[in-house]
Chains A and B, each alone.
Chain A
């Protein structure tokens, strides 16, 4: 194990963990329910570590990408339904990330939003065309580390640490009305969905295959998924904690995505504001690339096309056309003028619905000793895998009724 590679892998995972949905829901959850939803982020992160590690291990040992597995394990019909569901949810997520990028650039430059959406897509496509996989992942992941300003900011505003630590314990706050209880339940589902987005494991495992992982990389995979994702999650929790401290008491929702940047501006002024906006910009840009490529990976793997960024774009033409088409479709959605916050809501809702079907074939293969040999799931991974499968299935069933009953957590 190369220590430099490991460190870079962890840092990339930290910087690349947060996306627009987590930014939105962390800030809203903190202002509405104080520290009471920190545990939902922690629980989701454990789930993400479990499924991420499993998908990386399957990629390293069985050399099987997720959508290839899906077709073989679920059969063509159910596999196709899952593929279509995943494509739609990931496309909406990609559009939300592109819209988020344009908004953040709008705060930084004051230039028109739609023009910035077009410029963002042009820059993203250029980097995806030119850079190899590893450098696409690292460029955005490492620049996303500027978001560490949120973790420093939460220390600077001196939150009540005991209350904050208490948030890690699963709880239902006392004194909530039935309406508030429904909102609280909706936020649990939305946070789990935002942390466990299925595209993250598609991208991660496809990346493992692109980089030619083998048994020697299993430790790196495990450390990246536990330490990297864990530290990345702390950034989202920092945003939630600052929001609980700064926004909740003064009736701030927040309804405007840019409001989150105030968490760093209040203690550190203009420097804090710029670091926060740039960190969020690169984290969201990284997520836009990941969602776009995840859809291209999914289609190519499902239909058995040549895929990957290890090859020149013209050496895997259908894969290249797929990611170009996904990015342009995402831009088209943004250009219709749809509100970014609404896109985030839809992305979270669609993703949680397809999540159980995405993770089931992965877990079945990771349990299978004929493929995985001595690297098959042991009792801990098996138990955690089934536990999280039950949790995401329950969340998927509850998602639509909760969304309708709470107007998307709004009331």
Chain B
């Protein structure tokens, strides 16, 4: 049992590069899609002001955390996350969803690699 756990720890510690960044790419993809959904519902008048503001702030903060955690800061997915962070708070849902879709494509290609 101890050996299995040690092996698992080693495997987890050894992974680097795009594969190691996969959880952050997935997280960033979801955050962009959540931000888009919030903005879409806000335009329709279905949300309160404080909720919208807090959700946008959370999305931005978590995206920044993802960006900092990446092991490949020059990669195409890192640039995509940076591009999302440059969006204004009330960015159009379509623009945010386009970024989410791009990240999803990168995520899928890395997963199948």
Contact = CB atoms under 8 A, between A and B. Distances in A.
B46 A269 contact: yes
A320 B66 CA distance: 42
A277 B55 CA distance: 13
Contact of A255 (B38, B41, B46, B62): B62
A266 B97 contact: no
B90 interface: no
A267 B15 CA distance: 43
Contact of A273 (B23, B37, B47, B104): B47
B48 A274 contact: yes
A411 B23 contact: yes
Contacts of A108: 48, 50-51
Majority secondary structure, B binding face = helix
Interface string B60-89: 001000000000000000000000000000
A258 B33 contact: no
Query: Interface residues of A toward B: which range?
Result: 20 to 34
A191 to B, nearest CB: 19
A250 B97 CA distance: 8
Contact of A252 (B37, B48, B49, B101): B37
Contacts of A266: 41, 46
Interface string A229-246: 000000000000000000
A407 B36 CA distance: 26
B23 A253 contact: no
Given A253-B31, A256-B34, A266-B46, A401 B4 contact: yes
Given A251-B29, A410-B27, A258 B101 contact: no
Contacts of B58: 256, 258
Contacts of A265: 41, 46-47
Contact of B5 (A252, A253, A254, A400): A400
B8 interface: yes
B99 to A, nearest CB: 10
Interface core residue of A109, A256, A400, A401 (most chain B CB under 10 Å): A256
A261 interface: yes
9 contacts: A250-B33, A253-B31, A255-B27, A255-B30, A256-B55, A256-B62, A265-B47, A274-B48, A401-B5
Interface of B: 4-5, 8-9, 11-12, 22-23, 25-27, 29-31, 33-34, 36-38, 41, 45-51, 53-55, 58-59, 62, 97, 100-101, 104, 111-112
Interface of A: 106-110, 177, 179, 247, 250-256, 258-259, 261-262, 265-266, 269-270, 272-274, 277, 400-401, 404-405, 407, 410-411
Q: Which 9 residue pairs are nearest across A and B when measured between Cβ atoms?
A: A253-B30, A110-B50, A410-B23, A411-B23, A411-B22, A269-B46, A251-B33, A407-B23, A252-B33
